[in-house]
Amino acid sequence: MQIFQHYIGGEFSEGAAQFDSLDPATGTPWARMAEASVADVDRAVAAARNAFFAPDWADMTATARGKLLMRLADLIAENGDQLARIETRDTGKIIRETSAQIAYVAEYFRYYAGLADKIEGAHLPIDKPDMEVWLRREPVGVVAAVVPWNSQLFLSAVKIGPALAAGCTVVLKASEDGPAPMLEFARLFDQAGFPKGVFNVITGGAEVGAALTSHRDVDHVAFTGGPETARHIVRNSAENLASTSLELGGKSPFIVFADADLDSAVNAQVSGIFAATGQSCVAGSRLVIEAGIKDDFLARLKAKAEAIVIGDPGDMATEVGPLCTLRQRDHAASVIEASIKAGAKLVTGGAALERDGFYFPPTILDCTDAPDAPCLTTEFFGPVLSVTSFTDEAQAIAIANDTDFGLAAGLFTQNLTRAHRMIRRIRSGIVWVNTYRAVSPIAPFGGHGLSGHGREGGMQAALDYTKVKAVWLRTSDDPIPDPFVMR
């Protein structure tokens, strides 16, 4: 059993309790994790608050912060194999994905390292002749970052990078369903030379999350997860009036017109829903296909889905691994059963695999004649694709927008004017045209509706971790007149 501890104030420490983390590939314990108490939350926030005001961080130049972030990026790249192995073991995410993703995580930190000394204020052309007025961008303060288990190093990078670049300090709560990668990641902050307390990591369940997000010394909450937890966080933030950024779930439409490059569209759809075992907020979980090509497209999808290699997530040959938890596996099975009862037709998959671990096969449900099937509206967080068809552009848009989510959408067509019309009318924060799941540190990422608010990635994310201070300087040498003397 490997042992993982909290990282608070630059030191590793045991929590108030411990819990075992299960290997999703076997369903058996493999590591013991520290579990925080409310007192541990208080210690972590105090460490972050003290570090925020300490001269070695508060007086550090933005250029120097950028150099620390660049050193951290180098360490992530150097330790990528170890971080990837731990993430695969603790979450079931296949090694070929964790390895590639961690390499790109380093690029996110490099991007924000370069942005650190480019967060600028502004001079205002004020309407007073004897005044100079300018705006300063200052760090918002202590950031509570709450991340789920899926892609957590990436989902942490898009919070930690801009927050530290702006001069904030961070307390990160790793998911209790797979915290090992973040607790291991904390070791790199020591090596990079960050002042103690600038970055802290704890883990635990709902009580820990509530204590952190409602803490009076937390100034901003950055959360990735589900809408129901987000509602609790918003209510918690009423206690400290912290600002929030919420990157939540999705039920993203993947729209294919008959004129599309169908080979590319099939490959993108397979990647969009079955990569990461469907455990992605932007999973293209609703195929919206032009009716005339539906049967051909589904036949191609079925063949590719059934050829996917399911196996040990630590094997580079594996293409789909287990789900992270038994809870997810059971949830997928129950929604599929209800959808079939509602008239959905099972194309392939549909039942948990009879093997150790939390394995569920790539599954396709044809809902053309089942508009009320729950699979069309439920976020599975698993490898389950729901299929509907359309006959014209207006119907495609109506189906795509028939959701409370608004995170991402995919659109495949060779008609450029149609693409522009669709882009304007699809209600989502991201639209991919003739591609899917592309990301970059340069581009913002986020949605609206039940997909949350705020953006991660790009310059805007760094600005979201700042507040504006207006500075007024009187330039006249004349005395300020007595306001009570009549003239």
The mean pLDDT of the chain is 96
pLDDT digits (tens, 9 = 90+) for 43-87: 999 999 999 999 999 999 999 999 999 999 999 999 999 999 999
95 band by pLDDT with thresholds 50, 70 and 90: very high
Question: For the segment 101-146, what is each residue's pLDDT rounded down to a tens digit?
Answer: 999 999 999 999 999 999 999 999 999 999 999 999 999 999 999 9
> Of 351, 350, 388, whose CA–CA distance to 366 is shortest?
388
CA dihedral 222, 225, 228, 229 (to 10 degrees): -50
Using a pLDDT cut of 70, give the percent of the chain over it. Answer: 100
* Dist. CA 278–CA 93, nearest whole Å: 10
Confidence grade of residue 486 (pLDDT, cut at 50, 70, 90): confident
Q: Is the pLDDT of residue 302 over 80?
A: yes
Residue 311's contacts (CB-CB under 8 Å, 6 or more residues apart) are 317, 318, 321
Residues 6+ away with beta carbon under 8 Å from 236: 210, 213, 214, 221
Distances from the Cα of 117 to the Cα of 163, 170, 217, 381, 462, angstroms: 13, 19, 26, 38, 11
For 150-204, the pLDDT digits (tens) are 888 999 999 999 999 999 999 999 999 999 999 999 999 999 999 999 999 999 9
Sorted by where each begins, the domain ranges of the chain are 2-248, 253-433
Tens-place pLDDT, residues 430-453: 999 999 999 999 999 999 999 999
Dihedral sign from CA coordinates of 266, 357, 326, 370: positive
Q: Are 86 and 314 contacting, i.e. CB atoms less than 8 angstroms apart? A: no
Say what percent of the chain tops pLDDT 90. 95
**On the CB side of 187, how many CA atoms lie within 13 Å of its CA?**
13
253-433 placed in CATH 3.40.50.970: no
Distances (CA, A) of 235 to 42, 217, 242: 19, 16, 11
367 is annotated as an active-site residue: no
Nearest to 411 by CA among 403, 420, 402: 420
Residue with tokens 């620390």: 68
pLDDT band at 487 (very low <50, low <70, confident <90, very high): low
* 168 tagged catalytic: no
35, 97, 184, 281: the catalytic one is 281
- 431-460 burial, b at 16+ Cβ within 10 Å, e below that, comes to bbbeebbebebeebbbbebbbbebbbbbbe
How is residue 195 annotated by DSSP? P
Helix, strand, or coil here: 396?
helix
Q: Within its chain, how far is the Cα of 461 from the centroid?
A: 13
pLDDT digits (tens, 9 = 90+) for 356-378: 999 999 999 999 999 999 999 99
Which residue in 247, 319, 379, 456 is the catalytic one?
247
- Per CATH, 2-248 and 253-433 having the same topology is answered no
Q: What is the mean pLDDT of residues 384-392?
A: 98
For 24, 237, 394, the CA distances from 232, given in Å and listed in that order, are 28, 9, 37
Please name every residue paired with 34 in a beta bridge, in sequence order, or none if there are none.
18
Q: Residue 275 in contact with residue 268, Cβ under 8 Å?
A: no
Confirm if 146 and 222 have CB atoms less than 8 A apart.
Answer: yes
Q: For 2-248, CATH number?
A: 3.40.605.10
* Bridge partner residues of 288 (DSSP): 255, 388
As a whole number of angstroms, the distance between CA 412 and CA 258 comes to 9
Q: What are the Cα distances from residue 298, in Å, to 193, 201, 304?
A: 53, 45, 10
Mean pLDDT of the 11-24 span: 93
- List C-alpha distances in Å: 94 to 33, 89, 90, 104: 22, 9, 11, 16
